[in-house]
Amino acid sequence: MDQRLAARREAALELQALAEEFERSDAAALRRTRFACWALAVVVTAIALLLLLAGADWRYLVGFWMVIVGLAWAAYGLSSYRQRDQTERLKALAARWLNEVR
């Protein structure tokens, strides 16, 4: 029985290390994605302003801007939520396994 507990403890520690690695990886990925969303917002804003200066209808440009920028930030929000949720579940599993072994 002692070998089973030792193996379970080792697996729990590995899960905990994996969860911490995922958390660091998520933070870096979300930082890159957030930067990309800001860059996209700047590019779309510049295009909309150029088209507005060229005489385009401002109502269509506002709609265009809202759709593109809104979709980009919605995708970022969904992605960050899912990544953080998965990492939290993995951390909870590791904590539960460690608590069962102790």
| The total number of structural domains that make up the chain | 1
- Asked if 52 and 58 touch (Cβ cutoff 8 Å), the reply is yes
- Asked if 76 and 33 touch (Cβ cutoff 8 Å), the reply is yes
- Asked if 29 and 83 touch (Cβ cutoff 8 Å), the reply is yes
pTM to 2 decimal places: 0.70
Query: What residues make up the domain containing 23?
Result: 2-101
Per-residue pLDDT of the chain (102 residues; tens, 9 = 90+): 588 888 888 888 888 888 888 888 888 888 898 999 999 999 999 999 999 889 888 888 899 999 999 999 999 999 889 888 888 898 888 888 888 776
